[in-house]
Structure 1
């Protein structure tokens, strides 16, 4: 029973509130969070495990179901949902429309663009009962281009057109590793744009890249945007978004003098590379690719006959761009970059819950303060920025110290302890900020002000 309903039962004159506000209280005891406890003497194979994989599995955020395939557990799903919300908001600002394509794409389309053969063994292929070939899509250039070409003739007045989706993608990795950083099934946001000219396509490209910049800025993890290799996707140029991490599989070259950066794949001699812009020596760093944008031109619209009607009513090929964000990889990469030791550290905007409330231990002296837990959960959930973001560790047979440790491991940014100080004439509560490992003892009033201030800063 929620605190609001309890209040209404006691105070009949407020019964009209019953239909105004009901706050669901999340509790750790009800959370599906299967923890992976490793023996102290266990030997972890470094070649197959990354920090993010270890932490996400151990803390019950993801679960390995088979080699290179992972289940997103409730905490992981909350993180992904929050990330998708950030992406959706930025896509709306640039006029992109969200849709959903089938995961299976006709093999005939991939043959038409030449990628059936060029993609190699990483392409997952299946046949139906009629022996028709399909692809479990790693990306959807063929599918979206075919859709646009067949729906109806686009008018120049309808351009630019931007369509995106967030779905599972598939790649038959020969050696899956590092958890969600390189796996067989992954979550990706893919956007496709259609323009009337090369100049217009470049304008759209820069606009979408600006939106991607804002997505990463909102996440809050430092990132690098570098010139990239077009590879099997194709096109005239591309850019990659990276998080710097020692485990990263890409080598990046950075000019500290003028800021130019590129993937080492584009440089003949990366060991002694000089900046094309200022001539200074470029330094190396390792990066995890979390996004990639391509200016495609007519690579797909040509063979798949996707055109629009120009001002004279004549057909012209559409100029395309494609833009990917590795959604599940971003989740893992943020953990890889920010976390230390045995504790996950989430960016504020992605934390599965922003506040974890620790209730008193059953039978302890402070157990009389337990009524404060539901009250604080209600009050905090009403503060802007904390709605639906409070979880209560109600496992009152465990010590407060044990539960604080587990809350730190899960990466909740703020931990609020209802302990002995809550039994005083003026109740006080311990507030632990896991980002800076700061601890404060605050009254009810000061606690509310502290949380409002933090929310405004984010």
Structure 2
């Protein structure tokens, strides 16, 4: 919340508590460090098993992630839409997917006894949309539609917080092309855009051959973060650079070069998935276009998912210690926190208004930090306590205002929490350090 155009920590709703005291959850239910840290430090709060409230700091990080995704989707011609979450069951019957959906698919009926699914993905809805305005001219393709919405899956045992829930936030794109060659080019272009998204996020990732599962298609890739708690096992061949989900491999032998000794198996968290679908959905749902000859033909599709709430949690999981949360610079709710002296202290009297002025100057000198500076105005607490809180929440830089800020040439204590560096810098050195070391 901004007070007088400043973000002040005392005004932010951030219930910091032990997990055992949070609603509907106890220590035995916490199965990952990201889940525990995000709960304890007031980033999320559990609503019921597998569903979470996103609190202000969580929303701020999520919005940064959405911005990265929107930027890259725009670059590849993506147009943002929003499909309904309630999808008529007949669409899933027509695509042939309903009978194999399994118990994880939420199904319900309205008061008129009409059947619906609470959609975990929207291939049918996207196809039905195009069908409803078909046949479109071949000149109107390729068409690339995406959304960022909540999805639903009836997990038997939700776990790992945001990484395996019943309600989760996804970016899903559905592309339509007039032939298989064009669809393959689109597939490669969107996969490259996913590379750029993960490069901008700043957490190490791998792209591997994936399983098509219930969604189907002729080609699939998965994007993963390596992590011990990851539920996917990925095979990496050091001999020929082949990499794939282990489900695609019959054993621990590389299926491409046949060498066993050069293979590594890693636990990974899947954070993105792409599928080249062909006409699996467009044909039964009659999503067509008019060719140059005027003949209606089936469109070729692709679908592309990013688990946004999962990416947020997985980033924290990969980067954090057991006691302190860490964010990639691009997703941290705030990048800089300023810690003024305690009320009534000698330092407070000699550095009056220094923190507020520095706040404004940082945003002026480093435009990328606009709206990313936070003032810890809880002056009833010691500097040490507030600095400890800043470390636990994982703000990249904590700038402490102490007695040295009142010298003829004011010096500021800069704590680079990511690298565990503490230095005293004048104003210009401070701005320069932050500019050179922050990935935004």
Given the two structures, how large is their TM-score scaled by the length of structure 1?
A: 0.91
Q: 2:221 aligns with which of 232, 239, 243?
A: 239
Runs of 4+ in 1 over 4 A off after TM superposition: none
The Cα RMSD (Å) is 1.8
CA–CA distance in 2 between the matches of 1:264 and 1:105? Answer: 33
Equivalent of residue 58 in structure 1, options 21, 40, 45: 40
Task: Choose which of 236, 239, 242 in structure 2 pairs with 1:260.
Answer: 242
- The aligned residue for residue 183 of structure 2 is 201
CA distance in 1, matches of 2:26, 2:45: 19
Q: Structure 2 CA distance, aligned partners of 1:423 and 1:275?
A: 67
Residue 305 of structure 1 is matched in structure 2 by 286
- Work out the number of aligned pairs and report it: 433
Matched, 1:110 2:92: yes
1:273 and 2:256 matched: no
Aligned to 1:211: 193
CA deviation map 1:186-225 (0-9, x unaligned): 0000000001111111010000000000000111111111
Contact 2:134 2:287 in 1 (8 A): no
User: Structure 1, residues 278-301: CA drift from partner, whole Å, max 9, x if none?
Assistant: 745321100000000000011101
What is aligned with 2:306? 325
- Residue by residue, what CA displacement relative to the aligned partner does 1:66-114 show, whole Å, maximum 9, x if unpaired? 0111011001001110001000111111111111111111111011112
Secondary structure of 1:146's counterpart equals helix
Are residue 429 (structure 1) and residue 412 (structure 2) matched? yes
State which of 121, 125, 141 in structure 2 corresponds to 1:139.
121
Q: Is the 2:19–2:27 contact (alpha carbons within 8 Å) kept by the matching residues of 1?
A: no
Q: Does the 8 A contact of 1:258 with 1:278 survive in 2?
A: no
Alpha-carbon distance in structure 1 between the residues aligned to 2:167 and 2:35: 15
Residue 392 of structure 1: aligned partner: 375
| Contact residue 188 and residue 327 of structure 1 kept, 8 A | yes
Alignment correspondent of 1:453: 436
Q: How far apart are the structure 1 equivalents of 2:339 and 2:203?
A: 28
Residues 59-138 of structure 1 mapped to structure 2, 5 A cutoff = 59-138=41-120
> Are the structure 2 counterparts of residues 277 and 200 from structure 1 closer, same or farther at C-alpha, using a change threshold of 3 Å?
farther
- TM-score after normalising by structure 2: 0.95
| 2:146 alignment partner, SS class | strand
DSSP-derived class of the 1:122 partner: coil
**Which of residues 1, 7, 32 in structure 1 aligns to 2:13?**
32
Q: How far off is 1:115 after superposition?
A: 1.8
**1:186 maps to 2:171:** no
Q: Is the 8 A contact 2:138 2:178 kept in 1?
A: yes
Residues of 2 paired with 1:278 and 1:354: CA distance?
47
Separation of aligned partners in 1, 2:119 and 2:387 = 43
Q: Which of these residues, 296, 300, 310, is aligned with residue 277 of structure 2?
A: 296
Distance across 2 between alignment mates of 1:254 and 1:44? 35
Distance 2:107 2:403 in 1: 61
C-alpha displacement at 1:258, in angstroms?
A: 2.8
Q: 1:348 to 1:112 in 2, by over 3 A?
A: same
Q: Provide the rounded CA distance (Å) in 2 between the counterparts of 1:356 and 1:276.
A: 50
Residue 411 in structure 1 maps to residue 394 in structure 2: yes
1:439 aligns to 2:422 (yes or no): yes
- CA distances 1:354-397 after superposition (whole Å, capped 9, x unpaired): 10010110011101213111101111122221011001111001
Q: 2:409 and 2:93 mapped to 1: Cα distance?
A: 73
TM-aligned CA distance change 1:313 to 1:39, over 3 Å = closer
Secondary structure at the aligned position of 1:385 is classed as helix
**Gap regions ≥5 residues in structure 1:** 4-22
**Aligned partners of 1:240 and 1:289 also within 8 Å:** yes
Q: Answer whether contact 1:359 1:370 (CA < 8 A) is retained.
A: no
Q: After superposition, where does 1:14-25 map in structure 2 within 5 Å?
A: 24-25=5-6
Any idea what SS the aligned residue of 2:103 has? helix
Cα drift, residue 43 of structure 1: 8.8
Give the match for residue 348 of structure 1. 329
8 A Cα contact 2:325 2:394, kept in partner: yes
Contact 2:206 2:225 (C-alpha < 8 Å) held by counterparts: yes
